[in-house]
Amino acid sequence: MAKENVVDGVQNAPHRSLFHALGLTEEEQQRPLIGIVSSYNEIVPGHMNLDKIVEAVKLGVAMAGGTPIVFPAIAVCDGIAMGHTGMKYSLVTRDLIADSTEAMALAHGFDGLVMVPNCDKNVPGLLMAAARVNVPTVFVSGGPMLAGRVEGQKTSLSSMFEAVGAYNAGKLTDEKLKEYECKTCPTCGSCSGMYTANSMNCLTEALGMGLRGNGTIPAVYSARIELAKRAGMAVMALLKQNIRPRDIMTEAALMNALTVDMALGCSTNSMLHLPAIAHECGVELNLDIANKISAKTPNLCHLAPAGRTYMEDLEEAGGVYAVMNELNRKGLLNTDCMTVTGRTVGENIANCPNLNPEIIRPIENPYSETGGIAVLKGNLAPEGSVVKRSAVLPEMLVHQGPARVFDCEEDAQAAINAGKILAGDVVVIRYEGPRGGPGMREMLNPTSAIMGMGLGSSVALITDGRFSGATRGACIGHVTPEAASGGPIGVVEEGDLIRIDIPGNTIELLVEEGVLAERLKHFVPKKKELSGYLKRYAAQVSGGATGAVLN
């Protein structure tokens, strides 16, 4: 592409003059031009090391005979954006990242791309862009953070948010809260549990778009620099073989990713991002498919927040390929799918054993026979809702209680902090969906407060918004249709009984059918005054059940 459009021939002499302005020699112009999409910035802990990753990628590309050229992608830190207006700008960046990368890649005629993301929206946004641009592409992330340590116990960001809840409940001193604050996030990297960033980075391996270890090698390990060099070399090999993203991200590969998702116990946000990626690949991936795969896929890992193991532990146990090898023993993967290694999934995972059955459960001894994510439907969520089943306490898998209704996250948080939420309640937070928020905010503050105050075994939370990967408990998100689109969650009244049955995949508002119909008949959703990008986003975005894609 590059040589034809921007280098070769008399007509491209003006283009070559601009390459000379960049300091590129004629020799460099004659080599394949490889765009390196750098998500580096100085505000996201998971991205502060990406300058070093990018330099290593550049070296790998050059060693293999290409000309590396860097351009940027934005990134939002979900943790810093949490609990205020900033969180409205998190999910929406996924589409900005995809759009801007598409524009840069196609405007400048790159022959191949190396994507260097790390955190929540960059990985799916760049996977979406890879499918659109469809030139040989490899992913290499910045890697996960090492776990923190407090009193000899490993900790992660979810521990920090729950510590705030414990403090507000009078269960933690000022000194102990400060200790958590200073020790929970000890290195650069994506936060150390199986949160959204690490979920999506692991799924690049399952999809075949990232090399082995991309999801699990810690950010501070030198092996991460080596991986980046190999990614630079790998894109040149893909170019020679003409293997492109849509050759890799097939329907079968997406089903593999969803299967690995269930085994790992990934963030519920993967159920927003995988359908959006599939959409760009021309594949339909709906929530019904998710339950079918979950029904036959055992959950093999309980990484934080579901358990007390972390990304560094998964890496030492053999990483994503070891999990895939366990799944393959039951024939749950399509091993013929092509990958960025130039080999198939089956060839990649053939000699990758499970090195620690305490971290990765053997297929014969899973945490559960069904996957880590469940999709619930019913009259409260006719098009679906999502829960991280692997992070729900056994006593909360089935729960019935009175609705405590709030029209925004802030009001719910204030009620929780004031001790107004009682054992047995079902907290309902609405008008926080993709359109109603807009931007589908994560609810880590209220969920962590509930857990930190000791209510995790007796209180559920339902929202048309979403949850951080750091959330645990009976927290059901992505309720679709959302309140702003006229969904039933918008007519729930204070005190209505709600029944949640996670094993049965149902969520029901226990009011008479005629009463619900009458409420919906007269329901006029609340509207918010919007401006700028959020106004455009709200006008274009689809529901959570279809991945919150832009129409």
Q: Which residues are catalytic?
A: 468
Alpha carbon distance 318, 261 (integer Å)? 16
Q: Measured in Å, how far apart are the chain's first and last C-alpha atoms?
A: 29
Half-sphere exposure of 256 (CA within 13 A, CB side): 33
Q: How many CB atoms lie within 10 A of CB 68?
A: 23
User: Of all helices (H) and strands (E), which one includes residue 478?
Assistant: strand 475-480
- Determine the Cα–Cα distance for residues 399 and 157; give it in Å rounded to an integer: 27
As a whole number of angstroms, the distance between CA 364 and CA 380 comes to 36
Q: In what order do the strands lie in the sheet with 67-72?
A: 67-72, 33-38, 112-116, 137-139
Run of H or E residues at 445: helix 444-452
CB 121 within 8 A of CB 94: yes
| Residue/partner pairs of 39-42 with CB below 8 Å, 24 or more apart | 39/72, 39/73, 39/74, 39/75, 39/116, 39/117, 39/118, 39/119, 39/122, 39/126, 39/142, 40/72, 40/116, 41/74, 41/75
Q: What are the residues facing 38 on neighbouring strands? A: 72, 116
Query: Which among 472, 273, 302 has a CA at the least distance from the CA of 387?
Result: 472
3-state class (DSSP) for residue 289? helix
Find out whether 443 and 463 touch, Cβ atoms under 8 Å: yes
Contact status, residue 440 vs residue 477, Cβ threshold 8 Å:
no
